Amino acid sequence: MSKKLFTYNHDRSLFPEKGQDGKPNIDLSSHKFMKIWHGPQHPGITGNMSLELTLQGDEVMDCETHVGYLHRGFEKLMERRKYIQCFPIVCRVAVPEPDFNEYCFASAMEELAGIQIPENAVWLRNLVLEMSRLQSYLMWIGGQAGSLGQGIIGQWSLYCRDLVLDRFEELTGGRIYHMYIIPGGVRGNLPDGFLKRMEETLQIIESFMKDIKKVMFNNAVFKKRTVEMGVIEKDWIYKYGITGPNARATGIAKDVRKDYPYLKYPDLDFEPVTSEYSDIYNRADVRRRDLLLSIDLIRQILAKIPLKGDIRAKTPNVLHWKVPSGETYSRAECTRGEYGYYLVSDGSEYPRRVNVRGPSYTHAVALLEDMIINENIADVAGLMVSLHTYPPEIER
Amino acid sequence: MGKINDILSPFTAWKHVVNKPVTIKDPVSRIAADRYRGFHKNDLEKCIGCSTCESICQNAAIDMVPVEGIETKHGDSGLRPRIDYGRCCWCALCVDICTTNSLSMSNEYIWIDEDPEVFRFVPGAEKKSWDTRQAGWQKPSDNYELYDPQRVKMGELSPEIRHDSFVEIVQGFSKEQAIAEADRCVECGICTATCPSHMGIPEYIKAIRNDNLDQGLKILYETNPLPEICGRICTHKCETVCSVGHHGEPLSIRWLKRYIADQNPADKYKEILNRGNIDDKGKKIAIIGAGPSGLSAAYYLSLMGYSCTIFEKLPQAGGMMRYGIPEYRLPYDQLDKDINYILSLGVDIKYNATVGKDITLEQLHNDYDAVYTGTGLHSGRSTRIPGTEHKNVYQAVDLLRDVSLGKEIPVSEKIVVIGGGNVAMDITRTIARLQKQKYGKVQVIATSLESEEEMPADREEIVEAREEMAIIEPGWGPVEIIIENDKITGLKVNKCLSVFDEERRFNPKFDKENQKIFPADMVIESIGQGADLSYITESFKENLEMDQRGRIIVDKHFQTSLKWFFAGGDIIQGPDVITGIANGHKAAIGIDKFINRNS
């Protein structure tokens, strides 16, 4: 029936020639290849990192990721700071989603110190983590659409995110770095009228999400560029250590909130969002549905949260808080997957070792380097954003 | 169908073309939330410059600096936080930990200036537009504490158990209690600045936290050779200025000191405080009086290699600590523990040796290279109201001394004590115990000129005296002791309206209409003590500078105008133990300088 106006037959098995190890023989002096740097100054890169791409024509032959533009040495800094002094800096590890750092650090410390935080503080932590997921997804969705040329989605979603940040501001005193989940509890109760304003915010977001579904997901161009693109195979999940929506889109319901329940998640009614096939489109859709799930969870939390009560447990004097020696790993489900803090204490006032397990490292370095081969240069940005990575957390 | 839908659906975005743009937020006119963490504010009057904000700041954004117009007051370092906004991370931990709640944040976050230097300033000292704003981050109030503002409760004998015995009331901390109490310290050091001896208080509290009591004892002995004693009866000026006490209860610094001393057995002292071999300087120092200042001078002088001889009028060492303070506050065995350690360093002590009687000051001057006197205030002052010459009117210090000497003191059924200081409380509570033992009931009234708020006695002394059934009647001035048939029947008093005049001079005013008689058959006066300096003969007095009130004038090393003669303790400053110890320590340094200069 259909008659193609243009036909383009490419048999990529012919070139470049493969060496004995099965990898392509890349000889730059042959002038058949071109090296370009994708990032760090590129709107399609999700932060301060870059991809060193070797192209043949418009096809990626080889990719090497470069990180280090944002290395601040937080893990080492923490070894030279008292525990309470680590609290203001952990949020800076992952800029767009800081609360998971605060939660994982605080809960690891509390576990070693054997501190039970008040019920009210548990609910408030849970609320803040879900709000954080919501705003992180809103930021991602703008990036995903933008990387494939749809500017308007980012304007809508960042407006919605701003509204969430307003709620963060009135609850925690900060918009980006909330510094709210302090070891021992949280730093404030819900302000008056918070529930009403939060509900208004959620309704605005829901209304925009409907538009976003129509404009972004029910969109022939978006589908053309994302369906069957950047596929993650099921057996890669354990090979690379893939977590979060990237894994759930393959049909494996990996979710820390269910697998290792924490805070009040056992009291909340939800099922992890999954899909059957992890291409860019399905991953995006899993994230969109996960965003809506976050809205639902925030409503569930606000319906159950006690509106007053203690916000902080009694702890030793923070100026010389000695955490009993031991080691622990504390994890939570952030928007990108499993976020964790491995904390070792030698019984002194300073943490002996803090290691941040962020999902971005596996997704943006190991996985991306392999996935991107033989893709088109125009799809690199969209593919990278579809893995939802935050370079600050790769480098710490 | 799906495909057509996918082509048409994106055009629904056009419905927003009539809406206002969503990205309209204007950061300049926007007002931040009530809790926003913006630029700092500081109430400079409330702030005591404790530097806890500086300690907690993870990025060294806060420096404590002197500020023009702020004087270094009692319990105030005189410094104020200066914040460097190039380093501040806006975490507001400084606000949360502020011991006085003086520091807060405004919700202002925009400030534009070309000069980078202005972004480092002292909040409160430099006026800013946001200083008067109410909104901004405050310390969360709902039971949110970064350190425990409440004291660990000290175990004490209940009034029913203690009221007829001289067993020590305060039982001391257990290890867990001491560590929990030591944990509350914020290490500001205002206590060190206030303590007359400048003891390393945060350091020894840290030693308790680290359970390193050897280290703790070493720190104590650097500035105070009587820790068991001070750990019990020190006037704890440190606790009155403790920064934790501004919002909560001050640390029990005194009990913590006692804990270190109590936990180290006497026979370990030499090993722990090992000072190595001390070279004998071949110089001799005479010390008059084995009270706190004399013992302190002897300790530090002997560490410097001087051979010291103490001349003590009474049969045992300790001065007022032994002969003025009742055993239920300071048990004799603990007193002996401190004194014996000092004597074990080779300090010679001559008991029952009264200078001026058994040996003259001139002899001391001739036989020794320097003389230090710390003879204290052992002569009770009288109110000189009619009736004080009666034989049943006693001085509190005399009775307290007799109790310590093991003599039986006269105790009648109804006794009135005149005075509101700690000595008055000591005699009142001693009498209450003796009455309980003798008569099975307590009938002692302590009356003071000062109102209850102004009474110089420690608060806990007043409370505990009442628990022991003594009656405290503040605000009455004694008029006369009523004597009928050569027997005391009572003390007539006038209501006292005020003790000091507007210039804070002693000038009591009475309401003569409002009179009362406290029934008594014995009266004890405890309105203060004087010094007996009769051992300083006229030939010395000629060259000894004294002030109008007859006090010896000394320099910062407690050296008098007679260069070989040093004086300290209650006769110079105080009166209290820790000031005496500090005087003795400084005088020891002064004596060392004096001898080095002369030799």
Q: What does the pLDDT look like over A42-57, one tens digit per residue? A: 777 777 888 899 888 8
DSSP H helices in B305-385:
320-323, 332-344, 361-367
The predicted pLDDT at position B380 comes to: 85
* Strand, coil or helix: A335: coil
- Give CA B40 to chain center in angstroms: 33
Grade residue A7 by pLDDT with cuts at 50, 70 and 90.
low
Q: Is residue A68 part of a domain?
A: no
Q: Would you state the structure tokens that stand for residue A47, as one six-digit string?
A: 């932060």
- Asked if A319 lies within 8 A of B187 by C-beta distance, the reply is yes
- Asked if A318 lies within 8 A of B23 by C-beta distance, the reply is no
Q: Is any Cβ of chain A less than 8 angstroms from the Cβ of B186?
A: yes
Residues of chain B found within 8 Å of residue A215, distances taken between Cβ atoms: 9-10, 12-13
Mind listing the pLDDT tens digit for each residue in B459-469?
888 999 999 89
Q: Is residue A210 part of a domain?
A: yes
Mind listing the pLDDT tens digit for each residue in B21-79?
776 667 777 888 899 999 999 988 889 999 999 999 988 999 999 988 888 888 888 89
Total residues found in chain A within this entry:
396
- Give CA B206 to chain center in angstroms: 19
Number of Cβ within 10 Å of residue B504's Cβ equals: 8
Flag whether pLDDT at B446 surpasses 70: yes
* Strand, coil or helix: B250: coil
Average pLDDT over residues B137-163: 86
Place of tokens 């007359």: B196
- Asked if A317 lies within 8 A of B25 by C-beta distance, the reply is no
Q: Is residue A389 part of a domain?
A: yes
The predicted pLDDT at position B106 comes to: 92
The answer to whether A304 and A358 have CB atoms below 8 angstroms apart is no
Closest CA to A121 of B511, B45, B143: B143
Mind listing the pLDDT tens digit for each residue in B204-261?
999 999 999 999 999 999 999 999 999 998 888 899 999 999 988 999 999 999 999 9
Whether residue A40 has a cis bond before it, omega within 30° of 0:
yes
Closest CA to A110 of A346, A330, A331: A330
Number of Cβ within 10 Å of residue B494's Cβ equals: 20
Instruction: Classify each residue of A348-382 as buried b or exposed e, where b means 16 or more C-beta atoms within 10 Å of its C-beta.
Output: ebbbeebebbbbbbbbbbebbeebbeebbbebbbb
- Asked if A84 lies within 8 A of B7 by C-beta distance, the reply is no
Residues of chain B found within 8 Å of residue A170, distances taken between Cβ atoms: 33-35
- Secondary-structure breakdown of chain B: helix, strand, coil percentages, each rounded to the nearest 5: 35, 20, 50
Residue A194 lies in domain: 74-357+371-393
The predicted pLDDT at position A1 comes to: 47
Pairwise CA distance, residues B225 & A157, whole Å: 71
The answer to whether A187 and A179 have CB atoms below 8 angstroms apart is yes
The answer to whether B237 and B264 have CB atoms below 8 angstroms apart is no
**Å from A377 to nearest chain B CA?**
25
Residues of chain B found within 8 Å of residue A73, distances taken between Cβ atoms: none
Q: Is residue A3 part of a domain?
A: no
Query: What are the backbone angles phi and psi of residue B152, rounded to the nearest 5°?
Result: -75, 130
Determine if the pTM surpasses 0.80: yes
Mind listing the pLDDT tens digit for each residue in A149-166?
888 898 899 989 999 999
Flag whether pLDDT at B299 surpasses 90: yes
* Strand, coil or helix: B449: coil
Measured between CB atoms, which of B35, B52, B140 is closest to A311?
Answer: B140
Q: Would you state the structure tokens that stand for residue A23, as one six-digit string?
A: 């990898």
Mind listing the pLDDT tens digit for each residue in A81-96?
999 999 999 998 888 8
Residues of chain A found within 8 Å of residue B186, distances taken between Cβ atoms: 317, 319
Q: Is residue A53 part of a domain?
A: no
Most confident of A229-233, A307-311, B49-53, B550-554: B49-53
Residues of chain A found within 8 Å of residue B185, distances taken between Cβ atoms: 317
Q: Is residue A181 part of a domain?
A: yes
Q: Is any Cβ of chain B less than 8 angstroms from the Cβ of A27?
A: no
Grade residue B1 by pLDDT with cuts at 50, 70 and 90.
very low
Flag whether pLDDT at B579 surpasses 80: yes
* Strand, coil or helix: B108: coil
Burial of A165 (0-12, 13-18, 19+ CB in 10 A): middle
Average pLDDT over residues A300-312: 89
The predicted pLDDT at position A3 comes to: 59
Q: Would you state the structure tokens that stand for residue B515, as one six-digit string?
A: 């009179």
- Secondary-structure breakdown of chain A: helix, strand, coil percentages, each rounded to the nearest 5: 45, 15, 40
Residue with the bigger pLDDT between B586 and B277: it is B586
A333 forms beta bridges with: A338
Pairwise CA distance, residues B308 & B592, whole Å: 12
Q: Is residue A23 part of a domain?
A: no
User: What is the spatial order of strands in the sheet that B487-500 belongs to?
Assistant: B476-484, B487-500, B506-519
Mean pLDDT over each residue of chain A, to the nearest integer = 88
Flag whether pLDDT at B2 surpasses 70: no
The predicted pLDDT at position B293 comes to: 93
DSSP H helices in B32-152:
52-56, 93-97
The predicted pLDDT at position A94 comes to: 86
By percentage, how much of chain A surpasses pLDDT 70? 95
Q: Which of A164, A214, A224, A314 has the highest number of chain B CBs within 10 A, making it the mutation to test binding with B?
A: A214
- Asked if A174 lies within 8 A of B147 by C-beta distance, the reply is no
Q: Packing angle between helix A83-90 and helix A99-113, nearest 10 degrees?
A: 160
CATH number reported for the structural domain that contains residue A108 in this entry: 1.10.645.10
The predicted pLDDT at position A200 comes to: 94
Residues of chain B found within 8 Å of residue A188, distances taken between Cβ atoms: 35, 140
Chain A (131-160) residues lying within 8 Å, Cβ to Cβ, of chain B: 152, 155-156, 158-159
**Å from B405 to nearest chain A CA?**
46
* Strand, coil or helix: A75: helix
Residue with the bigger pLDDT between B115 and A18: it is B115
Grade residue A328 by pLDDT with cuts at 50, 70 and 90.
very high
Pairwise CA distance, residues B237 & B561, whole Å: 30
Pairwise CA distance, residues A173 & B26, whole Å: 19
The answer to ipTM > 0.90 is no
Q: Is residue A232 part of a domain?
A: yes
By percentage, how much of chain A surpasses pLDDT 90? 51
Q: Which of A119, A180, A182, A317 has the highest number of chain B CBs within 10 A, making it the mutation to test binding with B?
A: A317
Mind listing the pLDDT tens digit for each residue in A330-353?
999 999 999 999 999 999 999 999
Pairwise CA distance, residues A164 & A136, whole Å: 10
The predicted pLDDT at position A13 comes to: 55
- Give CA A2 to chain center in angstroms: 42
Pairwise CA distance, residues A354 & A343, whole Å: 5
Number of domains chain A contains: 1
Instruction: Classify each residue of A212-251 as buried b or exposed e, where b means 16 or more C-beta atoms within 10 Å of its C-beta.
Output: bbbbbbbbbebbebbeebbbbeeebbeebbbbbbbbbbbe
Q: What pairing do the DSSP bridges indicate for beta strands B103-105 and B79-84?
A: unpaired
Place of tokens 């007002």: B31
Mind listing the pLDDT tens digit for each residue in B323-335?
989 989 889 998 9
